[in-house]
Amino acid sequence: MAPPSSPWLQGFRPVAAPRRTLVCFPYAGAGAAVFRDWAPETGPDTELLAVRLPGRENRIGEPPLHRVEDAVPAVLAALEPLGERPLTLFGHSLGSALAYATARALVAGGGPPALLAVSGRRAPHLPSRRPPSRGLDDAAFHARLAALGGTPPEVLACDDLMELMLPMLRADFAMSDAFLESDPPPLPVPMLAFAGDGDAEATEEEVAGWERLAGAGFTLRTLPGGHFFLHEHRAAIVRQLMKGVLANE
């Protein structure tokens, strides 16, 4: 199959006749490449596509977005050529909000995904326990990035690189901070959630709150680790994802 033509989607491995597609949404500050190593583990019948937001990788010259809702129409348009092939949406942290908003739009359009998987993110109706990042000066914002642990120390230590990345990072955090829904209705979609047992950013209880939105079944998997447990447990997460996909086909 030809690679996706949209700048919003990145494929990593050609699949001649895919039966299903796994669409992955990255966390704040990340690009599509964080899911490159997932492709070999999804099996021969599954195409993996990763979402690439403006402001990073080969889209670094584009202005970043500040609201989840601003990304959804373009993601939907990029997915449209896939036709009626079953979709599984997976997102980590900010990516969970993006995956959920995309799933909600697909449901509204009459083509719900086969599975929605969220990871390392509180449910949409739960407010953040941290103050918004927009009020932080650069030093405090830098400290927050360091505390989260997702940015390599060599990147944090490079002033020129941080100056280049700062607008995108601040926009991503603003996007994450602003996504809150006081009373979201359940989606008619099975949901799978992943939590880290040492994740101070999204506790197991907060991740379990997604069950309120699961109108077609909910499963919570808790794994060892902090906020970026998805890197340590990539194989286990992909295995659970594919198990969930097959169970809901």
Alpha-carbon distance 161 to 159, whole Å? Answer: 6
Query: 99 is written with which tokens?
Result: 């995956």
Q: How many CA atoms lie within 13 A of 222 on its CB side?
A: 10
Catalytic residue list contains 93: yes
The residue from 92, 93, 96, 133 that is catalytic is 93
Task: Report yes or no: 112 and 188 within 8 Å, Cβ to Cβ.
Answer: yes
Alpha-carbon distance 117 to 47, whole Å? Answer: 16
Query: 185 is written with which tokens?
Result: 């209705």
The residue from 96, 119, 227, 233 that is catalytic is 227
Catalytic residue list contains 227: yes
Query: 32 is written with which tokens?
Result: 């599509």
Task: Report yes or no: 24 and 52 within 8 Å, Cβ to Cβ.
Answer: no
Task: Give every strand in the sheet of 9-11, ordered side by side.
Answer: 9-11, 46-51, 20-25, 87-92, 115-119, 191-196, 218-223
Residues tagged active-site = 93, 227
